[in-house]
Amino acid sequence: MCQLLGMNSSKLASVQFSLEGFVRRGGETDEHRDGWGIAYFEGNAHQLFQDPLPASVSPLAEAMRRVPVRSRNIIAHIRKATQGAVELANCHPFARELWGRSWVFAHNGNLPANELPLDGRFSPVGTTDSEHAFCFMLQELERRFGARQPHTEALHEALELLNRQIAELGSFNYLLSCGQGLFAHCSTSLYHVERAYPFSQASLIDCDLRVHFGHLNHLDDSMCVIATKPLTTGEDWAAFAPGELRYFTGGTLAPGGRARRTPSMAI
């Protein structure tokens, strides 16, 4: 199956160090050769880059490593195809508009898409079970909340219900963001690490590269990185429990892993 990489930061930041190891899993140190993609946010909008080539040899991946993007929320994905051809339309992440915001989604797992009926408001462009499930999620969220975006707490509760429904059909690890926070759901395997003061030194598992984050960050910087499998040694990666949904905002895990009600409608 595929692998996921996500980042939520308190400030504009790059995920360059983690990406150096992650892209190597796309055909060099692991078997995920069937395309890759990365999305990041600028306010309510997103930028999306995809390539059906293996990430380890992709010129696009090399360009992204040389000139890293900076954002508060980033989602990346390397693909090992289980459903759908190896082509651009089937590369993650996927993006759609809902409630006047761009929503970005990437999935690791395998689902019977025909068990998730779509009414046409959101339709897949490609042929993956992942994009189908994403369209189904947005369809059901819009059905539940209408044209008005819910508070984070209500959205978290709705996602938990959808997660249970979809995960009954197969494995459903995913990352989801609209640019002001990042949801991460574990079905089988997902981890996160928080990089904040006092910063530590870490070494990548997939290549000979190490860094001391204290040399790159200010005392008030904070970032959470989420991955299918730990990317480094020297850091304490926290495993998700199966069925757990965590919400990251401001570069840290929300208390109890849950979104909280906020006075504004933005999440």
Which residues are the active-site residues?
Answer: 2
Tokens describing residue 243:
């069925």
Contact 38, 76 (CB under 8 A): yes
- 3-state DSSP assignment of residue 203: strand
Nearest to 251 by CA among 5, 8, 6: 8
- E runs forming strands in the chain: 3-13, 36-42, 45-51, 71-78, 94-98, 101-110, 171-177, 182-185, 191-196, 201-204, 210-212, 222-227, 232-233, 238-239, 245-249, 252-253
Contact 46, 39 (CB under 8 A): yes
Distant-in-sequence, close-in-space partners of 57: CB < 8 Å, separation ≥ 6 = 27
Contact 46, 104 (CB under 8 A): yes
State phi, psi for 126 to the nearest 5 degrees: -95, -160
Contact 259, 155 (CB under 8 A): yes
